[in-house]
Amino acid sequence: MNLTLRIWRQSGPEDKGRMVTYQVDGVSPDMSFLEMLDVLNERLILAGEEPVAFDHDCREGICGMCGLMINGDAHGPQRGTTACQLHMRQFSDGDTIDIEPWRARAFPVIKDLVVDRTAFDKIIAAGGYITAPTGSAPEAHSVPVAKADADAAFSSAACIGCGACVAACPNGSGMLFTAAKITQLSLLPQGQPERYTRVIGMVDAHDEAGFGGCTNAGECTAVCPKGIPLNTIGRLNRDYLRATAKRGGTPGS
Amino acid sequence: MAVTGILLVLFLVAHMLGNLKIFTGETAFDHYAHWLRDIGTPLLPSTWFLWIQRTVLLAAVLGHIGAATLLALRARAARPVRYAHRKKVNGSYAARTMRWGGVIILLFVIYHILDLTTGHLNPQGDPGNPYGNVVADFAPARWYVTLFYTLAIVALGLHLRHGAFSALRSLGQQTPAGERRARAAALVFAIVLCAGYLVVPFAVLTGLVA
């Protein structure tokens, strides 16, 4: 396959940045999208040019490092797939592909396609933990958990924090991420002691980081590589309403 | 957004039911219209209830617009550099057009009050004869009024289709099955409300109400 790539090049946080066009020939349909970028980078290095910087680590769809806006789709055209698991057979010979970094004030570009996702860490730090001692794995039967709750908590816990929800959101909101991190804990008995301080802390950290507000548009869940459902945000909303209603009664407030 | 929206929706339902009284004839409709001024009497002096309702509605409208403006400004600030290539969004057309749809509805409400409440833009504008005002307003010769009215109501329907679901979600609707029910209910509600509002001008246009 021969492709025309239009890639966002930005030498550093202060650079204005621009779309630059590259030709890539001899791409195999069995390559992953990142392998295709590797081919381009090898060629750029041989030609003495600066390679395109992009985030990646495990390349098997579970680490959450990769994240590219491919033709306006977060992680590309295939649903439930990270960019590293996207294969070039999803494209046709002669295609022009636009590749951009996640666009959000809370995710400033470091270089080319690499963005700084520290804002997500700040949200986690504001409440994504439990105070119960966690040493070795406990006896599974000592704390009963309803199967439905365990399943829902697990589907939230599948979030890899890649940031596609923010990238796709018309409001630049990180609410699907925040909701996933809140509900994976609030659905389980171990997460109950901090349930209501957690939701307030994490939503405040989300807003302070400069993310937009959620309008239930539903873009996030469509592009989420882990298929975190939109109703997760409903769980966050319910916890938030309860937390604000009973704030005075919350220990430590 | 959700709380002020629900207040406005309650008014929309009551207003639609009142409009439909036009099919019960001129006397009944005019009687209903005059009764609106006397709700709450003798506990409240005449028209007091109406003014209390108007105050609450105005507060709800301002709150709704204020919250929407805040969300829009936050959204703008949250993405200072735009995408060069932005796919059409996956979500519904209704969700995508909430902001501009809201602006269209606001412009219509202003026109609508000047038309059928104060009577300034009404060809008849007789406060004593609301039935006649409606019939004169939607007369076939004034087809453009009916057209604008229809466009505004369709915008309202789209606004409600996403808005009603979104309000339930904001107030804590949290299960996947409930989401399907909430979306279906919002769609049916939007269609019923659209039909209820559109039947009046089209009845006048076709001569069913004269």
Rg, Å, chain A Cα set: 20
Residue of chain B with shortest Cα separation from A229: B176
Pairing, β A109-111 against β A114-115: antiparallel
- Whether A90 contacts chain B with CB within 8 A: no
For residue B177, the chain A residues in CB contact (below 8 A) are none
Res B89: pLDDT: 67
Q: pLDDT digits over A58-95, tens only?
A: 999 999 999 999 999 999 999 999 999 999 999 999 99
The burial class, CB within 10 Å (0-12 / 13-18 / 19+), for B180 is: exposed
Residue type, B30: D
- Can you tell me the distance from the alpha carbon of A102 to that of A105, in angstroms, rounded to the nearest whole number? 10
CATH code for residues A3-110: 3.10.20.30
Q: Phi-psi bin for A104: left (phi > 0), alpha (psi -120 to 50), beta?
A: beta
Q: pLDDT digits over B41-71, tens only?
A: 889 998 999 999 999 999 999 999 999 999 9
| A122-148 average pLDDT score | 87
A215 contacts B79? CB cut-off 8 A = no
Q: pLDDT digits over A21-70, tens only?
A: 999 999 999 999 999 999 999 999 999 999 999 999 999 999 999 999 99
Res A247: pLDDT: 57
* Contact call for residues A110 and A78 (beta carbons, < 8 A): no
Predicted confidence band of residue B23 (pLDDT cuts 50, 70, 90): very high
A69 contacts B83? CB cut-off 8 A = yes
Res A252: pLDDT: 55
CA distance B178 to chain A (A): 9
Strand ranges, E, within A25-77: 69-70, 73-74
CA distance B88 to chain A (A): 8
B95 contacts A241? CB cut-off 8 A = no
B173 contacts A234? CB cut-off 8 A = yes
Q: Which two tokens stand for residue B189?
A: 């509600």
Least confidently predicted of A132-141, B36-45, B172-181:
A132-141
Give me chain B's average pLDDT, please.
94
Task: Provide the residue ranges of all domains of chain A, joining segments of one domain with +.
Answer: 3-110, 117-249
Res A141: pLDDT: 84
Res A248: pLDDT: 59
Most B CBs within 10 A among A107, A216, A219, A221, hence the mutation to make, goes to: A216
Res B41: pLDDT: 86
pLDDT at A250 over 70: no
Handedness of CA A198, A199, A200, A204 (dihedral sign): positive
| B21-33 average pLDDT score | 94
pLDDT at B164 over 90: yes
Residues 6+ apart with CB under 8 A from B36: B18, B50
Predicted confidence band of residue A154 (pLDDT cuts 50, 70, 90): very high
Q: pLDDT digits over A138-150, tens only?
A: 787 888 999 999 9
Helix (H, G, I), strand (E, B) or coil at B193: helix
Could you tell me how many CB contacts below 8 A there are between chain A and chain B?
A: 110
CA distance B24 to chain A (A): 41
- Whether B37 contacts chain A with CB within 8 A: no
Q: Which two tokens stand for residue A62?
A: 């579970």
Pick the CATH number of A117-249 from 3.40.640.10, 1.10.1060.10, 3.90.1150.10, 3.40.50.1820: 1.10.1060.10
B166 contacts A216? CB cut-off 8 A = yes
CA distance B15 to chain A (A): 27
Tokens 């006048």 belong to residue? B204
Q: pLDDT digits over A215-237, tens only?
A: 999 999 999 999 999 999 999 99
What is the percent of chain A with per-residue pLDDT over 70, rounded to a whole number?
Answer: 97
Angle, CA of B94, A227 and B77, to the nearest 5°: 55
B175 contacts A234? CB cut-off 8 A = yes
